[in-house]
Structures are given as structure tokens and as C-alpha cells.
Amino acid sequence: ATVECLRATYSSGINCVTFPFPLHMSEQQLLKPDEWSYCDYFWADRKDPQGSANISGFEVLLQKQLKGRQMQKEMAEFVRERIRIEEEYAKNLSKLSQIPLAAQEEGTLGEAWAQLKKSLADEAEVHLKFSSKLQSEVEKPLLIFRENFKKDMKKFDHHMADLRKQLTGRNAAVEKARKSLADRQKDLELKTQQLEIKLSSKIEEDIKKARRKSTQAGDDLMRCVDLYNQSQSKWFEEMVTSSLELERLEVERVEMIRQHLCQYTTLRHETDMFNQSTIEPVDKLLRSVDPAKDRELWVKEHKTGELRPVDMDI
């Protein structure tokens, strides 16, 4: 049917869709001017770069939907990796904070040192909270897809392909009727010429018959064009409503992802703030490190005797 359709394509038809002649193209207005709407820019088929098959404009839109879903999935995967790094970092910090290095340091310096080590555990806590919020508020929502997405896309695909197939079939019928009419007209012409050469009641009868057949072929063609028009108008309507639906889904997807990426940056800022606050007590204790006081404490605890030696008497 496709080959027949292509062979029969008339000047204004491309792949069985009738477009206006170039002269009348400028008379068409966009359905949604200034919106770059899907419903205005995907009427023609696209040549497949690999050669053989053409891709319909609607299929281009469907592929965008599938790609969008894949991108969303990959973003979730990326966030998962970010979570993993954060968890590992927290684990490393927590482990390090428990290593007893320099645990015997004393006095105000010892206190500051202990606080510094503890701050690592606090920081680890901050990073763990960040990772768990990333999971619940960014990764998980990104992994929620519209229910029945793939099924719906397939339904769209089949529906539009069926309408195109019907259009192709009816286009072929039009071409057949067109050819049939041409044949009938040629036949009628031939018989009329015969009558000019030789008047005969048999030929007159033949002409009557031929004229009737020609008229019938003309009616046939009208009927076929009518059916074709109906098909194309149905396809047109479905193209508009379906592409607008896909457009709505894409807007929804972009907005949803944007919202969750904003949540990522909010959480990240928060982490910096909490993270900073784990350091503050360390700074405070470092400011009160006092070598004199530490010496006093240490001496008091470890002194071995304050009686000084004196000179020997004879």
C-alpha cells in the first residue's frame, strides 16, 4: 500500500498527507503563535538518517518523552552516587573521630583536642542527615514516574499509526479512482471520435454507456476524496490533541525535576550551616587554651617536690 501511495503521490501530497501548495503556505497561521507549541511543528515526516524508513513527526515527540524519562532516571542514579559519597565520607569521619590518637593530651589544650575529635562525629552526623534527606527528598521523588507511562506512550503510538495507515489506504483509493476516471474519459473520447468517422446507432449506444461509466467514475472519485478528507481531518484533530497532551507532560516533567534539584541545593546549603556549627565549640575551646593554666594543672598533679636544695654547711 505504501509503495502504491508513494507512486501515486500528487504534487501537494507527501507520504499521503496533503499539504498546501507552496503558493498558499504563507496563508496558514500557526495554531499557537509565539508558543513554539508541539502542535505546530511536527506535521511532516522526518527522514531517518540511516536511510530507509521515515519517522513521523509524532514519533519524534514520543521519542522525546522516552528520552525525558530516561534522563530523569539517570539523574536519580547520579543523586544515588552523591548519597553514597556522602555516606562514605560520614563513615570515614566517624571512624577517624574514634581513633585514640593523642588521647592523653591534658589541660585546656587537651579539652580543645577532644572537642575537635568530637566535632568529626558531629560532622559525620550532619553528612548522614544530608544523605538521608537526599534520598527521601530528591532521589526517591525523581524515581516516581507517571503510572502506565510506557503503556500510554504505546497507546498514543498505535493510535496515531493507525490513523496514518487509514490515510495511506484512502489515499491509494483516491489514486485508483483517479486513474479509473482517466481511463473512462479516454474511452469516452475514443468512442466520440469513432462516431465522428462513422455514424452508427450502436456507437451512439456505446457512447451513452461510456458516458454513464465516466460519470460513475467521477462520483467514485468524489466519494474517495471525501473519505480521504474525513480521514485526514480525524488525523489532524488527533495530532493536535495528542501533541498538546505530550507537551503538557513535558512541561510537568521539567517543572517536577527543577523543583527537586532546588531541594538539593537547599539541603546542601543547610549542610554547610550545620557543618559550620560543629566547628564553633572547637574554636571556642581553642580560644581558651592557656599554656600557663595548663602548666599549673600539670604541675599540681605531677609535681615531685617544691623544696629546693640549699648549700652544704661544714
Ligand X SMILES: *[C@@H]1O[C@H](CO)[C@@H](O)[C@H](O)[C@H]1NC(C)=O
Segment 140-169, which members bind ligand X (CB under 6 A)? none
CB distance 46 to 15 below 8 Å: no
- Is residue 89 involved in binding ligand X (CB under 6 A)? yes
Q: Where are the beta strands (DSSP E) in 22-163?
A: 46-47, 54-55
Q: State the greatest distance between any 2 C-alpha atoms of the chain, in Å, as a whole number.
A: 178
Candidate list 226, 237, 283, 296; residue touching ligand X; CB under 6 A: 226
- Taking only Cα atoms into account, the Rg of the chain, rounded to an integer number of angstroms, comes to 42
Candidate list 85, 99, 102, 182; residue touching ligand X; CB under 6 A: 85
The whole-angstrom separation of Cα 212 and Cα 218 is: 10
User: Which grid cell sits at 7?
Assistant: 507512486
Least CB distance to ligand X at residue 6 (A): 5
Least CB distance to ligand X at residue 43 (A): 12
C-beta closer to ligand X: residue 225 or 257 = 225
The whole-angstrom separation of Cα 88 and Cα 127 is: 9
Least CB distance to ligand X at residue 178 (A): 12
Least CB distance to ligand X at residue 47 (A): 6
Segment 269-288, which members bind ligand X (CB under 6 A)? 272, 275-276, 279
Least CB distance to ligand X at residue 93 (A): 8
CB distance 13 to 19 below 8 Å: yes
CB distance 92 to 266 below 8 Å: no
- Is residue 97 involved in binding ligand X (CB under 6 A)? no
The whole-angstrom separation of Cα 93 and Cα 121 is: 6
Segment 8-27, which members bind ligand X (CB under 6 A)? 14-15
Question: Under the rule (CB under 6 A), what is the footprint of ligand X?
Answer: 6, 14-15, 45, 47, 52-54, 85, 88-89, 92, 222, 225-226, 229, 272, 275-276, 279
